Amino acid sequence: MAVVNILLVEDDDVDVMAVKRAFRDLKIANPLYQARDGLEALDMLRGTGGHEPLPRPYVILLDLNMPRMGGLEFLDEVRKDPELHRSVVFVMTTSADERDRVSAYDKNVSGYVLKHSPGRSFLDAVSMLEHFWRVVELPDVQ
């Protein structure tokens, strides 16, 4: 089974630290890459802008509210790109807005997770994501 690389598309340093802490607490050792917005994430996925292409297979953890290119715009670009359209994307956001949730699912996300839910639910969500990429067969070619 191939190692699943994780691309965290997140501009908030506090949220990045929370994800890293959750990975550490849950003993998740998958390689974790970070892009600060949708444009940088596209460069990392495509191997442009001075970036090597992100090794496949991968799962994208996507924030919605970012500078330059937000999450929904990023999803539009990914879904229309023949090289990237099969990418597995989970939204991890603070937005509980039903319109954002519907828009994300309309763009074929695999799940929508609220980052700042009370209690252990964030750790539970990260644990669920880890189980997903361990169990599900992901595409590792275009």
This prediction's pTM: 0.87
pLDDT band at 3 (very low <50, low <70, confident <90, very high): confident
User: What pLDDT is stored for residue 142 in this prediction?
Assistant: 47
Identify the residue with better confidence: 36 or 141: 36
Task: Write the pLDDT tens digit of every residue in 60-112.
Answer: 999 998 899 999 999 999 999 999 999 999 998 888 889 999 999 999 999 88
Cis peptide before 55 (omega within 30 of 0): no
Protein fold of 5-135: Rossmann fold (3.40.50)
Q: Take residue 74 and report the two structure tokens written for it.
A: 């990023």
The C-alpha atoms of residue 65 and residue 141 are separated, in whole angstroms, by: 29
Could you tell me the residue ranges of all domains in the chain? 5-135
Residues in the chain: 142
Q: Which H/E stretch holds residue 112? A: strand 111-114
Position 139 scores a pLDDT of 64
pLDDT digits (tens, 9 = 90+) for 19-44: 888 888 888 888 999 999 999 999 99
Q: Which amino acid is at 124?
A: D
